[in-house]
Structure 1
């Protein structure tokens, strides 16, 4: 069966424009739902993070008024996976050849560390060269910014993807405090961003081996598309 590398942010904060640290991390739904779908499909899922990082769920993503009736289930799932989350594989130790796909949950955490992590950049460049599926969701595409080729060219320039949009960031109340917006920067670096017609609508974009999901609601269909693609192999 397939083996998946799930890359999580290793920080529990997001630095805002005023320099303050806002509690953050990975978004609970974007870890729990795909992890559950992938493991139930019989896939092996290994969790990795930057060297010295310990993934933490964004506390907002576990609130009843945000996660809804699944809030307690998300928290219980994360608690059950505590051993893996407390001791993730260091990205520097990842042998990309061991994996069939890379899955990257969002939350604002990836903007803080994964977007600039050279070890993740290496993993993504190697995975893309081998045609392995790379699947970020929501703010997870920020992590793609780590993949810079010699001379400064961005690996994903010219590719089509989706991401948590500027409009969704604005509705979320975080746009004015963000030091940068993922949609804006990805577009400026050369990506073509395709979004759903309605904010918060589940939306998946596939461009070759690059699979991307727009927002938390997209994590389920993105994981299901990944299962379908790897099961067909």
Structure 2
């Protein structure tokens, strides 16, 4: 019989760009497509965010004709967890064997310096769990240190939203930093797909990262493979 794992899906609470009137937030498919892979195994999960409560959704991520978004955004349980996310302070890392950082530009503001998030990530990882992230959510890994003081992502194969993708969506002047540059500065072994916006993931033992929104399903699938098929 398969072991029962529990996943923690972490989302942003941040909605504002410095100068743009549009709002940011979670890029919806980065939660739904990842969870769709977990749902096949009926994996228990929780959704958490730095402040708890309702997770804001980037409006641009909702109106795509995406049947997986439709399915889960209208699923009462998933929606309830999204609208009433746990506050990170309420999370017990010992309850989870998987942590997954969703993206959306909002994460660039409230993930990187969140000490609670860093602590939860470290504990799950050091307890033998999987750490996974996609797109801008990878920013949550930038400052995670292990108990020995070494950076989690130092000399590890990593991907995340690329400089060229940021320029193509014309938000490179809005974000507080460019994720690709920041990952390289932390000595992560950053790589990206040849063509922007196509699915691309990197796997380094118990660390799985995806480059952009279309990579979320592949991250979920790989996490499930690593947990159940090794």
Is TM more than 0.5 here? yes
In structure 2, relative to structure 1, the CA distance for the partners of 1:96 and 1:185 (3 Å cut) is same
In 2, the alpha carbon distance for the partners of 1:137 and 1:154 equals 19
Matched, 1:206 2:203: yes
2: CA distance, partners of 1:15 / 1:153: 32
Determine the C-alpha separation between the residues in 2 that align with 1:97 and 1:124.
11
2:7 aligned with 1:4: yes
2:82 is equivalent to residue 95 of structure 1: no
Instruction: Name the Cα RMSD after superposition.
Output: 2.1
Question: SS at the partner of 1:131?
Answer: coil
Instruction: Please identify, of 76-85 and 169-178, the stretch whose mean Cα deviation from structure 2 is larger.
Output: 76-85
Q: Which runs of 5+ in 2 are unaligned?
A: none
| Distance in 2 of aligned mates of 1:114 and 1:183 | 15
Alignment of 1:79-158 (within 5 A): 79-80=74-75, 81-148=78-145, 154-158=151-155
Give a deviation string over 1:116-170, Cα, whole Å, max 9, x none.
Answer: 2111010111122223110100111011124246898633222220001000111
Instruction: From 211, 216, 224, give the equivalent of 1:227.
Output: 224
Match of 1:74 in 2: 69
Tell me, what secondary structure is at the counterpart of 2:152? coil
Q: Could you tell me which runs of 5 or more consecutive residues in structure 1 were left unpaired when the two chains were aligned.
A: none
The structure with more helix, counted as a fraction of residues: 1
The residue that corresponds to 1:23 in the other structure is 23
Q: Could you state the TM-score of these two structures normalised by the residue count of structure 2?
A: 0.89
Distance 1:73 1:124, change over 3 A: closer
Residue 166 of structure 2 aligns with which residue? 169
Q: Could you tell me how far apart the structure 2 residues matched to 1:25 and 1:170 are?
A: 19
Question: Residue 21 of structure 1: CA displacement?
Answer: 6.4
With structure 1 as the length reference, what TM-score do the two structures score? Answer: 0.88
Question: Which SS does the other structure have where 2:37 is aligned?
Answer: helix
Q: Map Cα deviations across residues 85-136 of structure 1 (whole Å, 9 max, x no partner).
A: 1211221122212111111111111111111211101011112222311010
1:47 matches 2:58 = no
1:14–1:108 CA contact under 8 A, matched in 2: no
Q: Which of the residues 164, 178, 182 maps onto 2:179?
A: 182
Name the count of aligned residue pairs: 225
User: Aligned equivalents of 1:206 and 1:152: distance in 2?
Assistant: 22
What secondary structure is seen at the aligned counterpart in 1 of 2:39? helix
Tell me how far 1:29 sits from its aligned partner.
0.8
Answer whether contact 1:15 1:21 (CA < 8 A) is retained: yes
